[in-house]
Structure 1
Amino acid sequence: MSTVAKGASVAAAAGIAAVFAVAFLEVPGDPPVHAFPTVGVLMANGEHWCTASVVDSPEGNVVATAAHCVAPAGKDGQPGEVAHDGLAIGELAFAPAFSGEGSGTQPLGVWKVRSVHVDERWTKWGDDTADFAFLTIAPDSDGRSVQQAVGGRGEAPLPDWTSGYDRDVTVIGYPESEHNPQNKPVSCTTQTRHDEDDPDMLYISCAGFWTGTSGSPWIADRGGPGHPGRLIGVLSGGNTDVDSTAALFDERAKALYDRAARG
């Protein structure tokens, strides 16, 4: 399988498998309850093109996504050209629990990205096994961290740097508006395995992960509220909406995470 990035500028083919849109439950007089409050979209100038998610960190200021969502792939040791989406279209921000038609709503706010941390294996060589990034998120005007806003340490998954390839995971992402006009996240729980064409990559088969789902978190051992599980990777590619791949987090991913956590 040739891996195709699922950012906003890349189309994906149709497929058939189980996937569902995540509903936000609302009780009169209470704030809405979000099934996956830590997951949202990367935005600039009101547009969104990739998925990202809060990962547990000491200061509550780290978000994970795919490297190709925030930095061009390098080639032969040289940096790649900046794409016409992502950072090229304006100041980068993160909107957790995003939903709604058109420009949508941001029930948990829009959070400024302070810095981006990407492995040089990606920025110089375009190595798919390094297609992950960690973003440092600035606090809001009240001094809150993004992790506090999405529910605190009981909601954000812990990062896992030593995971094996066979795990039960829940993957959550935001397809492009063409296939998802209400901008609702889709979710699938399934088992990972080695990708047949690139055994160094994780693979799942779940329909509905169209363009826009790049950066979707792959969360193992998730048990619902209060049991957020462990983040083992983020969606990086796949040549249809059914086939999706991810680079398994490793010690180099941990080094990027540690840099982002320090701000």
Structure 2
Amino acid sequence: MRRLGAVCRAVALIMVVTSGGAGCGWSAASSPQAEGTPGDEGAPPPGTRSSAVPAGKVASVGVLVNGDDHNCTASVVNSPRGNVVATAAHCATGLPLDSLEFAPGFSGAGKGTFPYGKWKVRAVQVDERWTTDHEDGADYAFLTVEPDARGRSVQSVVGSSAPEWSAGPDQRVTVVGYPDEDHNPGNRPVMCTADVHRDPDEAAMLRMECAGFWVGTSGSPWLVDYRGPDRLGRIVGVLSGGDTDVESTAALFDAKARSVYERATRA
């Protein structure tokens, strides 16, 4: 089932990490190309959909790994040192930092495969409004990850999306995420492009209606001007939750989110 508010899902995550997830910038400078279908600068954005479709390989999007389990979705965000990953706050808090890793491009049944390895999370930065009150509008986190054994940044290997801090509430976004294994036994990412608007029930949130975003998709990047896996566009928020797999919400990145991101770039 989908969560009924961010606090419910955060508590569930602290209680147990399941293979499908919890229950209940810097600048827009170009980043290294991620592997996948070659892009085309003149390509139009994807058309709107009412249901998610297979995403194919989007190397910069992956899952958070805690030991043998994986939960939630996360993605690389353009940063000066190439070491910042975005996800939902309820996905990254309450977990032991010494075992938390990011696995970009993850896929495959069971424990899955890690085509780009696992990147150790060094620090987690969240908005103080999340720390004190679990406000839905602050349900985002920026993680600082270590270089790999060869000294490479995760961004240099898989690419990234550029953060956008001043996007309006009316956007067309492409969302890429990993539903839990109950609905996605192959652990493959799905995507949907849809027009989104301010959530009438939660003024601080954006709302998308597109079926297929089950538990596990929390933290999925909401991308504007997505043109393909090597032209990701700009990330304006991350999936926070929703009452069903059809209705999803995200906190729109703003100046407060930028401040949290900047802490991650210095961590």
TM-score, normalised with respect to structure 1: 0.83
Q: Is the CA contact 1:44–1:90 (under 8 Å) kept in the aligned structure 2?
A: no
Percentage of identical aligned residues: 53
Q: Is the CA contact 1:3–1:245 (under 8 Å) kept in the aligned structure 2?
A: no
Alignment match of 1:172 (pick from 173, 176, 183): 176
User: Aligned pair 1:122/2:130, yes or no?
Assistant: yes
Where do 5+ consecutive residues of structure 1 fail to align? Answer: 24-33, 72-81
**Counterpart Cα distance in 2 of 1:233 and 1:51:** 13
User: Aligned pair 1:53/2:75, yes or no?
Assistant: yes
**Counterpart Cα distance in 2 of 1:9 and 1:224:** 29
The answer for the alignment partner of 1:3 in structure 2 is 5
Which letter maps to 1:53? S
Q: What are the superposed Cα offsets for residues 145-199 of structure 1, whole Å, 9 maximum, x if unpaired?
A: 0001104xxxx11100001011110000001111111000010001110111112
Please tell me the root mean square deviation across aligned C-alpha atoms, in Å.
1.9
**Counterpart Cα distance in 1 of 2:131 and 2:149:** 33
- Output aligned runs, 1:13-28, within 5 Å: 17-23=50-56
**Counterpart Cα distance in 2 of 1:197 and 1:68:** 20
User: Aligned pair 1:247/2:251, yes or no?
Assistant: yes
1:225 to partner: Cα distance: 4.7
Structure 1 range deviating more: 179-188 or 88-97: 88-97
**Counterpart Cα distance in 1 of 2:152 and 2:189:** 25
1:2 to partner: Cα distance: 5.3
TM-score, normalised with respect to structure 2: 0.82
1:46 to partner: Cα distance: 1.6
Alignment match of 2:214 (pick from 210, 226, 243): 210
Q: Is the CA contact 2:97–2:123 (under 8 Å) kept in the aligned structure 1?
A: no
SS in 2 for 1:41: strand
Alignment match of 2:189 (pick from 173, 181, 185): 185
- Output aligned runs, 1:220-259, within 5 Å: 220-259=224-263
**Counterpart Cα distance in 2 of 1:209 and 1:124:** 28
User: Aligned pair 1:194/2:198, yes or no?
Assistant: yes
User: Aligned pair 1:43/2:65, yes or no?
Assistant: yes
Q: Is the CA contact 1:136–1:261 (under 8 Å) kept in the aligned structure 2?
A: yes
The answer for the alignment partner of 2:140 in structure 1 is 132
Report the count of equivalent residues.
230
**Counterpart Cα distance in 2 of 1:178 and 1:226:** 29
The answer for the alignment partner of 2:31 in structure 1 is none
Change (3 A) 1:173 1:19: same
Q: Is the CA contact 1:45–1:90 (under 8 Å) kept in the aligned structure 2?
A: no
**Counterpart Cα distance in 1 of 2:181 and 2:98:** 20
Change (3 A) 1:88 1:137: closer
